[in-house]
Chain A
């Protein structure tokens, strides 16, 4: 991470102050331009290399495949794993897309009791880690849970109940925790723009549905594609939640080979398969996003004039939102609260509750650092793409998604290997990195987090910037403004909502993240997610309630701040 931070300023558009010619303004401009021609692409490439390095370390293993392992896997679990992965991805992808965009349209285009409130409450499930919803669902709705117990008591021991630990159960749980990505991005896009286009279409005689389909939907495409991309990546790389439901994906396969046969090389070869699927998803996202650049002149953006719903329509809209919120967030949180109280008043109490403050602080620091690094890097890469469009910057931007495309433990091991290699390299020139290189300090940890979570930040900021017309950038540049000025004074303010959204996504992901913290954290540095997992992995779900609830509360803070900002912005636009 030192590396990124030190390299980044040097490669930004502006030359070092000491070397900057100061004789006249025109010379300064030229120098700035020359620097920016190389500076932006260099920054983008440097960031991409830092992200790719750890994964590349592992991916090279595929060059020398262990055919025996592949053959054995192909003859046993692999076909089933591919099928499970495909079904899960399609199921979660489609249902999140429908649920997320449908809800976003509902709360933006219509007014009904609670619609404003739902506009931000429906983001809340973002704060719920999928592994927490997974174990709560199994505990409550599984065969041994109270619901099925009551069901059997009422309708007889053999009464049919939909199997909970199944593919269907997994799809429902992932959809409930992941739809907010689509919802959030779609809503942000609707708030940023779309209003006037919709109004124009309506005034030209299009019906509401037609205007939505033919004008708003295309405008939303970058946001919907970015949101679905995040959803699919999160689903693909999960290896913990799926196991509660007996779903055997390719990511489960990677972790299983590694932990079960102790064969790291075979596991990393297998991880390239996950990577290949991820590349497919990225390609799909590109196609969905489309080539066209949309964007209105900023001043003209107006909020959608929401239609008021009455009678049964209002009730239906309200019930839909309330139901989704209840099952994805309200009910599981309530269950956790009940468990927490039972444990707090019970004989055992929650283990390590005395270190609560420490876990809490560590999680917050880690999330804040990760968000800072990711947003800065994402801004640099997206700006580089805008100012120096071309294969170099766009390949760099796509390459940064790679960390998001492999399961957390794989990223973590890749980072260890990459940093150890770097340390050995530096030692040849005198001194290595300070301390125990990869793992003894927070640097390795923040680096790994950033490798993993740069993609959601970048995707979001990119889709926001896509709405700022190229013409705005080029006219500002033709008036003599340097790229950094354009970025700071024009791009940043115009894509403010997207940047905020990106900060929230990365922060929330970082608070929830588990496998990387598990492997790379400095000794003694425990986080809330580690605390939760240690208890949950021993099936002590009741005891895990307190840390799990704390994660949810911590993750809710950025979500709430974002919601407030979005409503404020919406209010500004209307006035």
Chain B
């Protein structure tokens, strides 16, 4: 009777630990397990796949970088069959870390343009998100409309631009693509100009609302955030212009995936990627108003009619600007971009 509480607590702790160790670890055969940094509307597409094929899919959602580290640390024991992220930089790094295996699939190489997949076929883009200029048609007359990223670094845009902070992946990958196409020094000049001109905000939705409410006249955001706001309110007073048309093309980042080196069943994982790039493309991209990677698949109605079916995209290989991400962060630091 003496030290009951303490001992009871210890007994509870040991029993629960043992119980937990017993229930852990399901190797999930016949199931595809995906570690994903992409969080939206996953279930719609994958439920459809599961219904069509009878193959079960499980997710572990998380942050790109942490999931990558986790797969690397788990090594051969990993449950992940597929690693999926919303950013080329993470895919390129994952490839460098050696957590993928090359997939030799004609279906994938036919469906996905060359600049949107890994040169060694370790990962493949599955959707395209454009980062471009948005503006208030009320306050930016047509003849003043900025059409290039570089223009926003000019003094006439001082205090009229809203940009997203430099800790964000999308900002970093845009800058990485500037480095890829224009070289470090020219990119630094542009980014320094932005830093002087811009109000730096926490996310794209705030940036879009800030344009609507008059904090700034233009902003750079991903296209689907505007699509989402327009879906809720068709009169949302912000419009989009495709940047750098006739030049380098609008910067696009990708959401993509690869099959892990130690996948239980690589063929099954490959089958899923093939489906996502072809029959499942619409289901995968439409929910989030993204553009398909597969040129044969039309974009969903809202973005097709409001933003256009196609636009000139920067052709730089996603692997290249992905590899430049770390340099982009240094450049942002050097430019004093918040």
Residues of A within 8 A of B (CB): 1-2, 4-6, 8-9, 12, 14, 72-73, 76-77, 138, 142-144, 148-149, 152, 157, 165, 243-246, 248, 252, 255-264, 351-352, 369, 372-373, 375-376, 379, 409, 412-413, 416-417, 420, 423, 433-443, 446, 482, 484-485, 487-489, 492, 515, 518-524, 526, 530, 534-535, 537-539
Partner pick for A261 among B18, B212, B213, B329, CB 8 A cutoff: B329
Interface presence of B73 (CB below 8 A): yes
- A420–B73 touching, CB < 8 Å: yes
Interface presence of B215 (CB below 8 A): yes
Q: How far is the CB of B116 from chain A (nearest CB, A)?
A: 20
Task: Please name 5 pairs of A and B residues whose Cβ atoms are closer than 8 Å in the assembled complex, sorted by A.
Answer: A12-B10, A138-B202, A165-B202, A262-B65, A436-B74
Chain B positions 13 through 43: 1 when the CB is less than 8 Å from some CB of chain A, otherwise 0: 1101110111111101000010100011101
- B210–A143 touching, CB < 8 Å: yes
- B3–A256 touching, CB < 8 Å: no
Interface presence of B203 (CB below 8 A): yes
- A76–B24 touching, CB < 8 Å: no
- A434–B25 touching, CB < 8 Å: yes
Residue of B nearest to A447 (CB): B17
- B24–A435 touching, CB < 8 Å: yes
Residue of A nearest to B214 (CB): A157
- A519–B70 touching, CB < 8 Å: yes
Report if A144-B329 is in contact (Cβ < 8 Å); known contacts: A5-B17, A243-B165.
Answer: no
Give the interface SS of chain A, mostly helix, strand, loop or mixed.
helix
Q: How far is the CB of A411 from chain B (nearest CB, A)?
A: 12
Q: How far is the CB of A421 from chain B (nearest CB, A)?
A: 10
A77 CA to B213 CA, complexed, in Å: 31
A443 CA to B13 CA, complexed, in Å: 12
- B206–A524 touching, CB < 8 Å: no
Interface presence of B167 (CB below 8 A): yes
- B65–A259 touching, CB < 8 Å: yes
Residues of B within 8 A of A538 (CB): 39-40
- A5-B18, A372-B9 known; 4 other A-B pairs, CB under 8 Å? A2-B21, A143-B210, A441-B21, A524-B58
Residues of B within 8 A of A1 (CB): 17, 20
Q: How far is the CB of A522 from chain B (nearest CB, A)?
A: 7
A236 CA to B90 CA, complexed, in Å: 27
Residue of A nearest to B23 (CB): A441
- A352–B43 touching, CB < 8 Å: yes
A530 CA to B5 CA, complexed, in Å: 34
- A413–B326 touching, CB < 8 Å: no
- B74–A488 touching, CB < 8 Å: no
Q: How far is the CB of A170 from chain B (nearest CB, A)?
A: 11
Q: How far is the CB of B55 from chain A (nearest CB, A)?
A: 15
- B206–A2 touching, CB < 8 Å: no
Interface presence of B77 (CB below 8 A): yes
Interface presence of B53 (CB below 8 A): no
Q: How far is the CB of A470 from chain B (nearest CB, A)?
A: 20
- A379–B6 touching, CB < 8 Å: yes
Report, nearest first, the 10 A-B pairs whose CB atoms are least far apart: A435-B25, A441-B24, A144-B209, A76-B333, A261-B326, A539-B205, A260-B329, A5-B17, A484-B3, A488-B3
Residues of A within 8 A of B119 (CB): none
Residues of A within 8 A of B200 (CB): 246
